[in-house]
Each structure stands twice: as C-alpha cells, then as structure tokens.
Amino acid sequence: MSIIEIPADSLFGRDNLPYGIFTVSAEADSARRVGVRVADKVLDLAVLLGDDVFSAATLNPFMAQGRAAWDSARSRIQDAIAADVADAAIFELADVALHLPVDVADYVDFYASENHATNLGRLFRPDSAALMPNWKHLPVGYHGRAGTVIVSGVDIVRPCGQRKAPQDDAPTYGPSRRLDIEAEMGFIVGTPSKQGTSIAPDEFADHVFGAVIVNDWSARDIQAWEYVPLGPFLGKSFATSISPWVVPLAALEAARVATPTQDPTPLPYLQGTEDWGLDIALEVEWNGDVVSRPPYASMYWSPAQMLAHTTVNGASSRTGDLFASGTISGPEKAERGAFIELTWGGAEPVEVAGEQRTFLEDGDTIAISATAPGVNGQRIGFGEVRAAILPAVN
Amino acid sequence: MSIIEIPADSLFGRDNLPYGIFTVSAEADSARRVGVRVADKVLDLAVLLGDDVFSAATLNPFMAQGRAAWDSARSRIQDAIAADVADAAIFELADVALHLPVDVADYVDFYASENHATNLGRLFRPDSAALMPNWKHLPVGYHGRAGTVIVSGVDIVRPCGQRKAPQDDAPTYGPSRRLDIEAEMGFIVGTPSKQGTSIAPDEFADHVFGAVIVNDWSARDIQAWEYVPLGPFLGKSFATSISPWVVPLAALEAARVATPTQDPTPLPYLQGTEDWGLDIALEVEWNGDVVSRPPYASMYWSPAQMLAHTTVNGASSRTGDLFASGTISGPEKAERGAFIELTWGGAEPVEVAGEQRTFLEDGDTIAISATAPGVNGQRIGFGEVRAAILPAVN
C-alpha cells in the first residue's frame, strides 16, 4: 500500500481525475484498461475500485452507465486516493502507453468561433460577407470521419489529393502543400438519446461525459477545391487527433462562464439557464515554440448549444459521439488556432525556432495543451495532443 | 430435410443470395443472426453452413473475413441449396423480422448523378452555374450521420429545425415543410484499409462486400438555410433508411456497365481498368403509385471511383463503412430520384393516388425497390426500403 503524493501545483490533483485507456509498456500483451491520472501516476481503476466496467478497452461501457455512475465513481476515486492505495493499482505515467480513450461513434465538428469563422470567410470568400447569414442563428457544424480519430502520439502522414489554385487551369494530384492544424476542444457523449427526441441545453451535463483537446488536421489546398457545395471531406478526413485523457465535466465546474453576448437572441431550443461557456486556455507549440494561445472562453456558441442543435431534428446521439468546437481563435493574432489565420493564408509567416514558417513541413511537431481553473485557485490540466508530420506516401 | 423451390422468375434465386439479419417473429428473445434470402425463404446460415460467424447480430464479422471468405460462403450456400436443406435452417420470409444488417462505421454520401447535381444547382443557386467547377474532376461527397442509419420498416418522425425562406426576415423553428426523399444505392465495405493507405479503383471488389438501396431522407427547408459553408447537417442527419438485404457484389457481375463518358479525363487515381457502372433499375412508390424510375446506369461516377476518392488522402476505411451514391436522377423527368427535382422545387406538383402533391405529408409511405440483370436473362432483386412519415414531435 502507498500514499499517492499530489504536489500542490499539480494539474492532475483530486479535483481533476481524467480518465484514459492504458497498457503497461513493459508487459507483452498488456490488456487495455481504464486508468485515472493522479499527479504523475496512472491508477488502474478495475483494481482500485474493484469494478469490471473499468476492465474494458474503451471508456464506452463506463460512459454508457450515465451521470449517477460517473458521480459515484468520481467520489469513490477521491475517497480511495485519500487513503493508502494498493500498489497493484499504481503505475508511473512514464511506464504506460496511452490509447484512444473512446470508441468514437459519430464525429461532428462545429465552427463556433466568431473570430475563426470571420477570418476563414475573408480568406476563402474574399468577395462575400465574411460571416454567412445563418452563422449567428445556429451553430454551424458538419459530420467528420469517426474512423480516423486517433490518439495523441500517432504521427500524421501528409495527405495527398486534388488541389487547384484559382490561377491553375485544372486540378493536380499530389501531397498537400498547405497542411494546417485546428486547435479545438472536443466533447464526448456518455448517455445516449433516442432517435426522434432531442437534448435541451440544460440537459447537457446528463449526456456529456467529458472533454478532450482536439487537433483537427486540415489540408487547406484540398479543402478549398473540394468544399463546394457539400462541405469539407478529404481536406479533413485523413486524421483528427485527440488528447488521451478525458476530463470529466464534473472537473470543469470552476471553468464555467457565460458565452459572449449572443445577438440576435437564439431561438428557444438553443437557450438554456446554465452557463456552458468554458474558460479553457489552450497553447499551441510548433517545434517547441509557443505560437498561439487560443482562449476557449471567446467561443460564441456553447457546447450545450452544439448538442441541442445536433439533436433538435430528432437525430439520436450515441455513447462515444464526439463533437468538437471548431478552431478556437481569439480576437488577437497570437490567439488564432489555425495557421491559415495566424499567417493570413501564408502571406504573413511566423517565426518558429528561428525560421519563417507558414504551413506544416515534414518533420514538424505540433503539441496543443490546455488548462482550466479548478477549485481553490488551482488549475486542472487536459494534458496535450501531440503529433509529428511524416512525408506523404506516393 | 426439404428442397428449396425457386420459381424460374424469382428475383432471389441462386445467383442473388443477399445477406441479412433476422429474428423469428414468433419466438420471444429470438437472437439476431445472419440469414440468406432464397425465393420467399430465409435460411439460417449458422445452421446451414455450421459456421459461427453467422451467429452474429450483424454482418460485420463475416464481412471482415474478406473476399475469399465471401466467395467460399457463396459457393457453399449454392451447393447447400442444390440439395436437401435441414428444416431447422428454413424460415418463411413472412415469419421473420429483418434488422439493420450492418453496424455502420462511417457513412459517406456522394453526389454522383450529373442530372441531380445540375437540377439541385439550378434550384438552390439559380444565379450561378449549376455544376460547381470541381464536379467533373472528383466525386463530391461528405460525411453523414452513421448513428441514424436505420433499416426499412422503421418509420420516420418528421424533423424539426430552423427554416428561413429567402423572403423571411429571420429563421423560425418548427417541423420541416419540405420533407423529401433521395433514392440512392449504397455500398458496404467489408475489408478494411489502413490509415495512410488508399484503395485503387481496381481494388474495389476486394474491399466492398455488397450493395443496398438507400433512402437519404432530406428536409429541404432546413438544408437550404444551414448548408453554407460546411454542407448538409440537420437537413439529413435525422434518418437514412437502407434495405435489409445486402446483395453481394458477386451477384452484380451481369449488371456491370461502363459509366457515361467522363470528360475531362479524371486524374489517374480515379482511373481503373474495370467497369463499375451498374445497370440497376430503381422504382419509387409514393403511397402505392410509382412516381419515378431512376436508372443507376446514368451515374457519372462509379462506386469504385467513390471509394478510391474517399481513401486517396490516406483515410482508413473500416468494415461496415457505408457510402451512398447520392440521388439517382436520369435525364427524364420521370427518372428523378428526389421530389424537389420531380416537382421542381414544389412548383410542378405530381399526381399521387389522385392528389396533387409536392413534398411528403404525415402518413405518406415511400417504398423504393431495385432490380438488376442477373445471369441467363434472369433478374436479381434488392428488395425494397420502405417507411412511413410520422408527425413531428414538438
């Protein structure tokens, strides 16, 4: 039995307790199972709590149990780590491998940052109004590819596809030349809803289990050519990376804030009485240099509104559904969460480790991290989502 | 033991043999299992072939075994039904319930009919060119909601959402007033591909297990307001119906035809040596009246090109991926596979059971059926996808 030591400034203290899926690196055929991160330790929850739902290879069975079970597990974990913990339950973070935490059901990506939508509108459609007429009436979103959601640490093969610049006569095939990131937060549904019903904004916490950091990799040249009229497809579908630790919604109580003022007032189905804006601070590192600090609190639409909108037509929501916010861009240049914005379409390079850079080059590494206010002035961490760019396969 | 009698004109003879998932209606707690349809019988494949892969509740485990296993099963079934069959394996079609045949992984919908894309371009964007500049260079597609793919027979709750007609000042919330169908064919992936690799057009039959009829229900008023710039979302995501029988690709040999001439010549990654146009004849019944006969052979892009395009950026494909063709519309008015086209945006009503009709009303029933050439001048059937419209839930 051992005491779990938690430094006072740990981002992974007793008020965070994110869930992940791990194996033990040194053990051949180590089974995937659910762990909780406490300081620099990973605790095996099936051992700690004696509950087989944590012997699963994904969080889905636990998430499907619903909010009462989540609250109960959280309080049992807090009790357990306040006392001595069986050594068989304790692993060093450095000794485990982390895996995709959820079996992703459907993946939806939103477009909820007014700054981002305005910037992209100017860049993609310079001759039109930056924001489309619908943008302030509904959280614009679309379905992405669930099968290519991967966990932090899996590297990204540069995608190939059709690109056509406006001045070209015809499209050509080849590796994307404008490979980009999108720094986002993602929300994972635990409690499902039935086809033909909808989830009101105030039911958000009954359905959503937790949050992760998302890097929605984007091939801008492929996207720009393909996306009319049915939206992004291959420009996005090659890979979407998420952080390995799912921070439970219960850990984000102190991070809850009002969204920016919504004018015009949204339709009633998008109105709730609870604040679900979130004061999450992100940081984008490019080859080790911090190039942007996107503020989630600036997002126009809340995740509760996103889920309400997704289901207002009666679409069911399943355990494992992932919906992401869209690029988080604050009003300042150094708060933009995509390089197409940060470098204004490549026209204004940024300095990265002493070089002038626009889009991603082979060998580059991106790490996006995030923290949020916790209780008692502490902060809680989401960890990071990190990947390197590998050359295209031709 | 019994002989399975197959009438000479059966659409479900020994050269079709579609797979589905059934339970026995009269048995409480009847387990879902794999069946094959032969004439008006459903044969329990776990019993017929003594193979546990057919005891599964979806076709996914069998589909994941790959093409050699599919070919072997098909030939074992053909051998088995040529002789006496154990009575325990035989059920009357009327005595079973049919279920969603596959656990749908990702769902992609294409837009592969030149007639449909031209008609919709004229209706949605009357002031621009009907076809977007990319349309003849790539099969335009987007991801749909896999979690709301349902089987024939499950009725459709009229979706609610935001609608805004061009003359309205602001959007309003309510039941869709322009509920429509899209008659399509869908293709189901059996053999997966890895992230970072792609599937060439000539590898189509190694990966695709079979085909179904798809009705991609569409709320045109919701779609028209929401779809810029990221594509359709709630206008489509409430429900997508598929037929219960998955016709194996091996049954479609006699249906293979060249696509219409593709000009300009597609980029090399979209070129194959094999013809994968398909001479499938669809029929749309509205409250019992046939209102359209969409010809699949008119589709500009082949399903082999759709799969090659989907994976050219390195996106993985999973067992259970469903990709649909998009609305099938032939050049003639009576060949249009969506009512928005058939009634030209509602301006030209059609007669349905003695009434003038434009979009779907509560209580309407739609049935889409399809057949294709088989061997020896026979035809093979896909069965039908059928559903009624239920009133909105407010």
What are the structural domains of chain A?
A: 19-99 (2.30.30.230), 107-390 (3.90.850.10)
How far apart, in whole angstroms, are the C-alpha atoms of residue B114 and residue B135?
9
Is the pLDDT at A124 greater than 90? The verdict is: no
Contacts of B235 in chain A (CB under 8 A): 313
Shortest Cα distance from B233 to chain A (angstroms)?
5
Tell me the catalytic residues of B.
116
Report the share of chain A in percent with pLDDT over 90.
97
Q: Give the bridge partners for A174, in sequence order.
A: A161
DSSP assigned state of B267: P
Residues B93/A189, Cβ–Cβ less than 8 Å: no
Mutate to test the interface with A, among B143, B154, B158 (most CBs of A within 10 A): B143
Cross-chain CB nearest to A142 (options B106, B142, B173) = B142
Q: Alpha-carbon distance B366 to B387, whole Å?
A: 6
Secondary structure of residue B57 in the 3-state scheme: coil
For residue A313, name the pLDDT band (cuts at 50, 70, 90).
Answer: very high
Q: Is A147 in Cβ contact with B321 (below 8 Å)? A: yes
Cβ of B88: how many Cβ atoms within 10 Å?
Answer: 10
Q: Are A318 and A105 in contact (CB under 8 A)?
A: yes
d(CA B342, CA B329): 9
Looking at CA atoms only, how far is residue B49 from chain A in angstroms? 32
| Residue B394: pLDDT over 80 | no
Name the H helices within chain B.
45-49, 60-64, 67-82, 114-124, 204-207, 220-226, 234-237, 303-311, 339-342
Distance, in Å, from the CA atom of B307 to the CA atom of B187, rounded to the nearest integer, reads 9
Segment A29-44 shows an average pLDDT of 98
Shortest CB distance from A142 goes to which of B141, B230, B393?
A: B230
Per-residue pLDDT band at B383 (split at 50, 70, 90): very high
Q: How confident is the model over A319-341, as pLDDT tens digits? A: 999 999 999 999 999 999 999 99
Tell me if A164 and B318 make a contact (CB, 8 A cut-off). Answer: no
What would the pLDDT profile of A134-166 be if each residue is shown by its tens digit? 999 999 999 999 999 999 999 999 999 999 988
Distance from CA of A29 to the nearest CA of B (A): 22
* Closest residue in chain A to residue B224, using alpha carbons only: A134
Residue B376's pLDDT band (cuts 50, 70, 90): confident
What is the C-alpha separation between A162 and B67, in angstroms, rounded?
30
Whether A116 is catalytic is: yes
Angle B334-B337-B338 from CA coordinates, rounded to 5°: 110
Q: What's the pLDDT score for residue B106? A: 98
Question: In chain A, which residues have their Cβ closer than 8 Å to the Cβ of B230?
Answer: 111, 140-142, 227, 231-232
Q: Are B132 and B165 in contact (CB under 8 A)?
A: no
Which chain A residues are Cβ-neighbours of B144 within 8 angstroms? 143
Q: How confident is the model at residue B166 (pLDDT cuts 50, 70, 90)?
A: confident
What does the pLDDT look like over A177-219, one tens digit per residue?
999 999 999 999 999 999 999 999 999 999 999 999 999 999 9
Q: How far apart are CA A156 and CA A367, in angstroms?
A: 13
Interface test with B, best of A119, A143, A309 (most B CBs within 10 A): A143
Structure tokens at A189: 């549904």
Q: Which of B364, B324, B390, B366 is nearest to B160 (CA)?
A: B390
Tell me which residue in B121, B141, B171 faces A233 most closely, judged by beta carbons. B141
* Closest-CA residue of chain B to A390: B196
Query: Taking Cα atoms as reference points, which of A78, A98, A107 lies closest to residue A34?
Result: A98
What's the CA gap between A312 and B154, in Å, rounded? 19
Mutate to test the interface with A, among B136, B148, B230 (most CBs of A within 10 A): B230
Q: Minimal Cα–Cα distance from A254 to chain B, Å?
A: 32
Q: Do A144 and A107 contact (CB within 8 A), yes or no?
A: yes
Cβ separation B159–A313 shorter than 8 A? yes
**Chain A interface, best mutation among B104, B145, B318, by max A CB count within 10 A:** B145
CB-based burial label for B380 (10 Å; 0-12, 13-18, 19+): buried
Nearest CA in chain A to B124: A229
Q: What is the DSSP string of A150-171?
A: EETT--EEPPEEEE--TT-SS-
Q: Is B11 exposed, middle or buried (0-12, 13-18, 19+ CB in 10 A)?
A: buried
Q: Nearest-CA distance from B135 to chain A in Å?
A: 9
Q: What is the mean pLDDT of residues B26-47?
A: 98
What are the pLDDT digits (tens) for B78-105?
Answer: 999 999 999 999 999 999 999 999 999 9
Question: Is the CB of residue B212 less than 8 Å from the CB of residue B101?
Answer: yes
- CB distance A229–B105 less than 8 Å? no
* pLDDT bracket for residue B134 (50, 70, 90): very high
What mean pLDDT do residues B297-312 have? Answer: 98
Nearest to residue B264, comparing CAs of A16, A169, A17? A169
- What lies within 8 Å, CB to CB, of B194 at 6+ separation is B316
ipTM surpasses 0.90: yes
Query: What integer is the mean pLDDT of B117-125?
Result: 91
User: Across the interface, do B231 and A227 touch by the CB < 8 Å criterion?
Assistant: yes
Contact A195 B150 (CB under 8 A): yes
pLDDT digits (tens, 9 = 90+) for B136-147: 999 999 999 999
- What band does B125 get if pLDDT is binned at 50, 70 and 90? confident
Q: Is 80 exceeded by the pLDDT of residue A394?
A: no
- Rounded to a whole number of angstroms, the distance from the CA of B63 to the nearest CA of chain A is 17
Smallest Cβ–Cβ distance between A171 and the set B106, B137, B225 belongs to B137
When the pLDDT of each residue in chain B is averaged and rounded to a whole number, the result is 97
Chain A residues touching residue B196 (CB < 8 angstroms): 157, 393
**Predicted local confidence at residue A165, as pLDDT:** 86
- CA A295, CA A209: separation in Å to the nearest integer? 22
pTM listed for this prediction: 0.98
Q: How high is the pLDDT of residue B315?
A: 98
Does the distance separating the beta carbons of A317 and B229 come in below 8 Å?
A: no
User: Which chain A residues contact residue B228 at CB under 8 A?
Assistant: 132, 134, 229
Q: Which residues contact B245 (CB under 8 A, 6 or more apart)?
A: B18, B19, B20, B37, B98, B101, B212, B382, B383
| Candidate from A233, A234, A315 with C-beta closest to B148 | A315
CA distances from A129 to A119, A125, B309, B341 (A): 11, 8, 32, 30
